[in-house]
Structure 1
């Protein structure tokens, strides 16, 4: 069993996320404004329109709704803010990646081209803090594992069965808490990958 201090854990999370993004996007990311043959689905937790994902005004307020609607070839554009896998107490729920679906964070909810996004300014967070009691920074990110409180999602993002056409880019993933003693609930920090993804 490995013992992690805060610095090691933060470094490990950064390296894992960077490798996943680089590995999945290398040679596969289109620089066009929308996917070839697919749709852009919009997500903004602050949207007040029809919640159908068709525009920024009518964006889904929930990333889960967009993932349910997405099919291979689609891109999901997610505006800055904090998104959680569920509003219930079900710790087993996660954001499940899909083959052929690209999920991009870092939008200000005004862009018409993906290249206009700024993920460093428009912090987009996927959080497992489903009971809303973790101690976070102003962006909703837990910066010390001691600040995870209560019952969080076991895994924030999973890619079970997704292949190398699944893309996750421009997010900070935080507050997963895989603290049970059974597989796969005892594995992973914020992201769990079961199966094989070819580079």
Structure 2
């Protein structure tokens, strides 16, 4: 039986990004290796207040300020995707991909957010929703579709 992973190194990395986010707390930095990560159909990935989320890593480099500054997020794409079931079929995609909440803000750098499809008329976001304070850098937000407002990015307050 495999042991649970705690995320303290690449060898012990969480296999599911939502699990890592659920364990994160104010002041934590999560580094995310290249690849594709998905939420559930009805629940976007929740980024806790005050968490620093960095994508664009190969997944074997040491983590320090030098490697953080030198990472190539375009070459080593870290994709947060709403395309969770049948590839290319948007009707079974997640309704929302990423959700930021909290007055302490959050920081997100080096990700592609794509593939969400919200067909519900009373929900105003799809790809990325920011409620409160957030710093967003080096993001590609594409191919998200929504019934109402905010298909790619929806900002509240």
> TM exceeds 0.5?
yes
TM-score (normalised: structure 2): 0.74
TM-score (normalised: structure 1): 0.59
Runs of 4+ in 1 over 3 A off after TM superposition: none
Does the alignment pair 1:191 with 2:145?
Answer: no
Larger Rg: 1
- Following superposition, the deviation at residue 177 of structure 1 comes to 1.0
Distance 1:68 1:188 in 2: 21
Distance 1:198 1:149 in 2: 28
Does the alignment pair 1:158 with 2:99?
Answer: yes
| Structure 1, unpaired ranges of 5+ | 1-47, 135-147
- Following superposition, the deviation at residue 58 of structure 1 comes to 1.2
| Structure 2, unpaired ranges of 5+ | 136-157
The corresponding residue for 1:138 is: none
Q: 1:168 to 1:198 in 2, by over 3 A?
A: closer
Larger strand proportion, structure 1 or 2?
Answer: 2
- Following superposition, the deviation at residue 117 of structure 1 comes to 1.9
The alignment yields a C-alpha RMSD, in angstroms, of 2.1
1:89-168 to structure 2, matched below 5 A, reads 91-112=41-62, 113=64, 114-134=68-88, 148-159=89-100, 161-163=101-103, 165-168=105-108
The corresponding residue for 1:27 is: none
